[in-house]
Each structure stands twice: as C-alpha cells, then as structure tokens.
Chains A and B, each alone.
Chain A
C-alpha cells in the first residue's frame, strides 16, 4: 500500500558501494579479465560453489577469502532442486550470477574482477543462503550510481503517472455523466469503455481508500468499493453504485433511467474525491512491485473469468489496462532494478513483451474500448492461453518486491 505523501519519508538510501568493477562477465568459462589483474601475476583466484541436497539444500563455497583481482566462480549443482541460481553480492548489488542451475547439467562459471571488501555468495533457497566472502587488497574507491537512488527516482515518476491517470479518469467519467444525462445510450456506452482503462491502470494503488469520517471496515466510505463494486460482491447494507451499476443499466437493461443518472452522478463525485486524495500518495519501490503483482492477480481472478465486465463484456479492455498499469510500475523501477538484477529485469521485460504480443491479437478498432468482446465462445477457446501467459509473467514479477525492498 502506498502511504500519504506527507506521512511517510522517502525510503532510506542503501549504502553506496565502494568498489569499482573492472570487468564482469556472465559468460561461461571466461578466464581472463581486463584491468589491473596483470599486477597480480595474471593469477586468477578460483572458487567452486557446490549445490547439494541431503535432506536440505546446501550451498558450499570452497574459498571464502581471496586476494583482489579476477576471481572465477565455478558453480556445479550436484543434487539441489531448490537452488537454481547463485549470485555474488555486495550491498545487494549483483557482481556476477548464474541461473538455471539444475542437477545433472554441466558446471558453469563466471568471472568478476573484485577489489578488496566484504561480499556475499547468495544461494536463494539454500538452508544458509548467504556465505560471507572476503576480498583482500587495494581498494579503488569510486562511488556507483546507487540502485536505491534510481528506485527512489522511479517511484516519483510513477506517482506522476498515477496522478495523470486519475486526472484523465475524472474527465472520462464527466463525459459519461454528460451523455447519460442527455439520454444518449450509444455515446454513454462508448464513454463507459473509454473511462474504464484509467481505473484499471491504477486500481491496486487506490485499493482501500476510505472517505473521511468512515471506519476502514465500512464499505459506505470505501472509495474503491463505491467506484468499482460488482454485482457479485455487493454489500447489501451499502447498496450499489459506481461503474458497474452504470454498466448494468447501459448494457443489460439497455435503458437510461433516473436511477442511471443518479448513479453516474455519484460515480463522478467519488472519482473527483479520489482525484483529490491520489496526489497526496507517496510510494516505496515495493509498493510499485506489489501493485504490479496485484494488477496481475486482478487479471487472473476477475478479468479472465469475465466477472468484471459481466454486462458489457469488455473484460479484455480491463485486462490490457491491468497489464499496462503493471508494465508502467515495472518501467519506473527498471533503471534501479537493472543494477540490482539484470537477468530478472530481462526476464520480466521479455514476459511483458510476450503478454503484449498476445493481447495485440485481440485489438479491434471497431469494438468498444478497442479490444474484442470477451464473449463465452472467445473465453472458452482463449482463456487458457491468456491465463498461462499472464502466469508466466507473474512468476518472475513475484520476485520483484523482495529485490527492491532490500535495495
């Protein structure tokens, strides 16, 4: 959850690394490095990392103290299923890593040229995940652009993105109310489809907003509830308002009544209230990561099933908007994340690309909201493929919060 901007300070910046990496290669079996390695008589320190399972998963590091200079880490997975990657870290920054380690595969190695200092060999999933690793010798000191600084900058950019989305949402629901008031059913349907993406881009950030004077448990003061509640999760004591109440009138009843007009007016009112609250929000990097993951959960639980847009069947509009909102959050974290874990960054980017390519196949300029209708037949034939692609994206994305929270 993001917090009120005034209430929470920006995240504490992580310690800035004091090491210059002269060369770093992820290629297997590289044995030479650039830099002042020659001053060490060309000696490369060799460290082997062995992964085993004898009841629990273990990560054994053969040497824990080496002189400054090029160090080759050779990683062999003998029998561990839980450990699939090994990283060399300092201050949460990755100096070298190997992924996709599985028992039976050939040993792989990476070489990093290291200057003196304390490092750690990180084996996620091992009984003891971190092994201290010391490099002795001359320290060449220059500061690196800190990942934490970049992440913090990203959160500010993201806050502006959210503000922009909510501002656009206000304009879109005002247009919807105008056409509802005028009794123009066709225009109101188009307005509805146009307004939805703005909410779906940022819904994980506005989840849980409460109007002043209401308890957190009272849905009557819960803005997310008032704006986006569905017939399927109605709180009888509060009644129904918001987007989906308008949707039902427009798409199921196919008629604009006085009630529709009142509902549209209250929707505008609540969205305007939201627009006042959102600029006060402040985000930590993990808020963006968790928010992105939350949007994909929304895809899986409400959009794929067709539950979200039960009357208009524009679920694919919402779905694409959820993915886009998640992609935006990721994009703002990306500069910092690339420093922390370039491989994970690439994995997530690749799965976003794959998801977008899949969704592009459903674009339809003639359809409401620009995407094919999510009717029963399309759902029956395509839900599985979409769900599995989103799942393939969720898996690497679920590791994002932990990465950025500890930066």
Chain B
C-alpha cells in the first residue's frame, strides 16, 4: 500500500540527511499522515473541506435516505455529524472505544486509533429531498437544487441513485476515511438509512503541487481542471445574496456519478484509437493538436488528411469549456473497484464527484458527452446524485444551522 511505502521513504530520507520537507514538496508521492485540516470556518462564507482541498489518495462516498420526517431529528443529526467530523479530522475518536463498564457499547468503533488524521476531510451534502414537504424547509431550498434530469446514455440503477444526504470522506489512509463514514453512519441509525456507497482510491484529480493522476483507463484525468481563485469564484462557490438560500453563500453543489468502465474491452483497444477517444496522448497527456500536457488544445488544427487532429467526438473536444459557452466544473473524482461482476469481468470505474455553483453546468456538459462522446463505448453511467454543500460552520455552530432558525 502506498501509504506504508511513503512512511518508509520519509524515514529513509531523514536517515540519509535529505531534508524531508524539501522532499515532501518536490515529490508529491510522499505523504505525511500527521497532517490535518480544520473543520470549522474562521470567516464568513468559507467552504467545507473536500472541495478545494488538495485531493487525498482515498475517498469513501455514501448517501443516505432520511427515515425520520421530523425536522429536529435532521437538526440533531447535522449537529452531531458536524462536531464529530471536527474531531475525526483532528485525528480523534468520537467518544470512547473501550467504555468504563464492560456492559457498555463503545461509542467509537476504534479501527482508526493511532492512524493519525491522514488529511481527512468529510464533506456533508443535502439532497433535494431535504427540501420537500417532509421537513418544512421548502422555502429554504437552494435555487438550483433539483434532481438531475435523465441524460443521454444514462444507465442508472435505482440502488445507486439519489439520496437525501451525502458524506464524502477523503483521506490519505483508506482506513481513516472508512472509519469516519462508519462512525457517522452509525450515528445516523434511526434517523437515516444508508442508500449507496462507493470506495474510491487513486485520486483521479490533482491539486496545485500534484502531478495529474490517471484514471483506470491509463489516461491523465483533470489536466484542464479549475485551479485559479477567479475560476473558483466564477464556477464553484455559490454567491447569490438576497435569494431564498442566502445561507448557502460560500457553499457549492456536488454532483456524484458512478461511472462503470468496460475495462476488458478498453484494454483490447489499440492505443491510437484510445488516444483518439480522449483526444490526448497516453503517457504525456498532450493534446493531439501538439505540445505538452498543459498546452492549450487547438480544436481547429487539421492534419494531413484534412480532418481535425483532435476528433470532434473526442472526450476533450466535447467537454472543453470552449465548446460549452465557457462553462467549467471542478472535478474531484476517484477510481473505484467493486471486484468482479457476474460475468467474471473486472467491475471498476470512476467515482466522478464534481463541484459547481449550478448543477445545470454538469447537465449541459453531460448532455453533450452522453450523446456523442467516443468514450461512451467504454463507459456507462450507473449511479447519479446531486447535493447542496453548505459552507463550513463556525465553531459552536453546525452545518446547515441557518435552516433551523
């Protein structure tokens, strides 16, 4: 496992006199499991962690259905989740692992003891169902929160779709991420039931000092992702003062899609076709119009045969903001595997999580991709959900507190 190896490397560099801090900055493969992210906001309109946070290596995503229709149950759950996430992100347990009385049941399940914070972030999302008739919160519905419409090529399974609440727990140690979701799911019992979950690994997106990672198709994923403050403000953070959802300012929307890959078929595809499908070279990730990875693709450049060098039905051509009225979304996906499917094939793909200030932006992009993308031959969208991600609470408050005022 990469984490153990990383710890070993850190030890080795210290012993040989190499400054471990320099090593950590230069090589993004070394990971410091003692790193932690604060949960509480220190200023107005700060986002929750797990959105702009430098992507950790592992991620567990889980959605829930409210089984209670009582608003105070939802309120108590959000308050308990918030305070617990603050402790979990600090590397603490949520209550005792070994109660004083033998007849007591441990509050914390204990498997993350001694593992460190591992840069854990837990992001809480509120689905459209929170604002239906059940909880009396309809007047506070965020303006753009609505179920994602049916899109071309959708192959959604009911058991992998929707949810009233979501948790995205990302960490550099998979057990730390899993422990967080496990403790929080336990806390929800009697109030909410679990709906679907995906265990992600191998971050398929990059932070500022990280190299672009690869998805399970072997291609770099996220080369043209959002990175600048200006783009975050323009495309990710919600800022609509005066709307009914003033409380969402500084928050964002989360779109989650479980995308299954037909791995065996893809693996048998010749590399020139694979590159044509993506519109990039496989190792470097350069656009087929030329240059290196971060060279801006020239979608008009033509080759000797007179056609464009980048196929107009390639993934990058259809997804490019140039072709979508300038729209961008922040992608923060992870790879996943569910083992083998019933036919003995590898059951794996991409947990596509993306953040944006209007889920309509995702719909715009996917409507185009679902209709024409050459990649559709190799992928299938089997799960889908959308959530409003409120801003981070201040200490002494909790996520979504303004809903109950």
A residues engaging B (CB < 8 A)? 53, 55, 57, 78-84, 100, 102-105, 124-125, 129, 286, 347, 351, 384-385, 388, 391-392, 395-396, 398-399, 401-402, 405
Contacts and interface: CB of A to CB of B under 8 A. Distances in A.
A391 B186 CA distance: 10
B190 A81 contact: no
Contact of B193 (A103, A286, A385): A385
Contacts of A384: 159, 193
Contact of B80 (A81, A124, A396): A81
Interface string B83-107: 1101100001011100111011101
Given A104-B83, A105-B79, A384-B193, 11 more contacts: A53-B92, A55-B92, A57-B95, A79-B86, A82-B94, A102-B79, A103-B80, A103-B83, A125-B95, A351-B190, A402-B103
Contacts of A82: 94-96, 107-108
Contacts of A124: 104
A324 B72 CA distance: 30
Contacts of B86: 79
18 contacts: A79-B83, A81-B84, A82-B96, A82-B107, A103-B80, A103-B82, A103-B398, A104-B396, A104-B397, A105-B75, A105-B79, A125-B95, A125-B96, A125-B107, A129-B100, A347-B190, A384-B193, A402-B101
A143 B83 CA distance: 43
Given A385-B193, A402-B103, A104 B82 contact: yes
- Among all A-B residue pairs, the 9 with the closest Cβ atoms: A82-B95, A102-B79, A104-B398, A103-B83, A388-B193, A402-B103, A392-B190, A102-B80, A81-B84
B396 A391 contact: no
A83 B108 CA distance: 12
A388 B67 contact: yes
Interface of B: 67, 72, 75-76, 79-80, 82-84, 86-87, 92, 94-96, 99-101, 103-105, 107-108, 159, 189-190, 193-194, 393, 396-398, 401
B94 A81 contact: yes
A57 B93 CA distance: 10
Contacts of B95: 57, 81-83, 125
A263 to B, nearest CB: 36
Q: Could you tell me the dominant secondary structure of chain A's interface residues?
A: loop
Of listed A81, A103, A384, residue having the most chain B CB within 10 A: A81
Of listed A57, A347, A385, residue having the most chain B CB within 10 A: A57
B339 to A, nearest CB: 18
Contacts of A385: 193
A304 to B, nearest CB: 14
Contacts of B190: 347, 351, 392, 395-396
Nearest to B77: A102
A396 B105 CA distance: 11
Contacts of B67: 388, 392
A392 B189 CA distance: 5
Nearest to A351: B190
B92 A105 contact: no
A332 to B, nearest CB: 20
B83 A81 contact: yes
Contacts of A402: 101, 103-104
A290 to B, nearest CB: 10
B266 to A, nearest CB: 29
Of listed A83, A104, A384, residue having the most chain B CB within 10 A: A104
Given A55-B92, A103-B396, A391 B79 contact: no
A34 B397 CA distance: 36
B199 to A, nearest CB: 18
